[in-house]
Amino acid sequence: MGLERESTIDIEFNKVLNIDIQKIRSEFPILHQEVNGKPLVYFDNAATSQKPIQVIEAIDDYYGRYNANIHRGVHHLSQVATDAYEKARRTTQRFLNAEHEHEVLFTAGTTDSINLVAQTWGRQNIQKGDEIILTQLEHHSNIVPWQMLAEEKGAIIKVVDINEAGELDMEGYKSLLCNATKLVAFNHISNALGTLNPVKEMTALAHDAGAIVLIDGAQSVPHMKVDVQELDADFYTFSAHKICGPTGVGVLYGKEALLEKMPPWRGGGEMIKTVSFSGTTYNELPFKFEAGTPHIEGGIVMGVAMDYLNQIGLENIAAYEAELLEYGVQKMAELEYIDFIGTAKEKASVISFNMKGAHPFDVGTILDKLGVAVRTGHHCCQPLMERLGIPGTVRASFAFYNTKEEIDALVSGLERAHKMFS
């Protein structure tokens, strides 16, 4: 998609449209192929999403027509690239309903964003004896940075437990909050189980205790409309590659007041105003946190991906994926040898399960031979799997370009796998 085509897009946020699944699928070239002689069924969307032709063309358009470094150039190509990059920042501001454009920082992705907060806000504010609250549902990227910080500072990590359905123990969470709590970090939606957490309530409770909140939105932003002001999130993170955009780029939203007080993380070009050997003056937001040449194409094309999702409608995506989830659970529940792992009342489009008498890896391997792509293992959630007492799960995760017929293919594959293991 060229800049001229992009500029004609008139996005009407919250517009309700119908899902035209055939039209949508026609826009994803990768879906129209065979794997092992079978039509591809891609159910690994929680790991990464596929890309529509609009996104693919936008990548080609950048490199073929206006590839240049941004912000510092006075020539035409640099100005065109800079305009496109900063337009993507404004698109992201609207996408999250951030109050200010400069509250949107472009990073290398969710993991990078969490590390940025840990190494700036965390190092500046966490002291010996302070407490950091995490949950059993966290991805390793929302555990390890805080462990590293706690080890460095002598802080204490406490963990919110879950019930058998994979839902957070909210009474236990409340009991952990105290004057020593300085930070609470949790995901909006569990990548392993699909649990939709009560993040607005959790944020309000944390704020009442005087704590700062970071929400990992990697799994929520692809499936629902997110309003960071309504959530009152202090920090909110996500990755472009899970919303039909490129890998290696993502977003950290932070409240202006917090970002202003935080020191830079990486030093170099762009994040400075003046440099001398006697001292350096740092740049204003958001550039203070964006050292060096960024992933220019990635930022621009991330904005194109957001425009694409907005044209379909996040509300429509959520409703359609809820239908897929309900249908998938209903069909798989008919298989008596399937154990569902994670049965929260509020869920996103993830079905995590195991087959009696079979290892998840073996089930995934057989499904792959039938053209069905699923994820197997601990899903970067080893503490969660240990808590559940299992080595891992098979995870089928749906997107708005999937169909009920593809779910039927998954169920047929599970029936065949079971016969092989019987």
Count CA atoms within 13 Å of residue 75 on its CB side: 5
Give 186's contacts (C-beta < 8 A, 6+ positions apart): 133, 134, 135, 137, 138, 142, 160, 168, 197, 199, 202, 214, 215, 216
3-state secondary structure 196-237: ECCHHHHHHHHHHCCCEEEEECCCCCCCCCCCHHHHCCCEEE
Set 178, 244, 380, 381: catalytic member:
380
Is 380 noted as a catalytic residue in this protein? Answer: yes
Provide the annotated active-site residues.
380
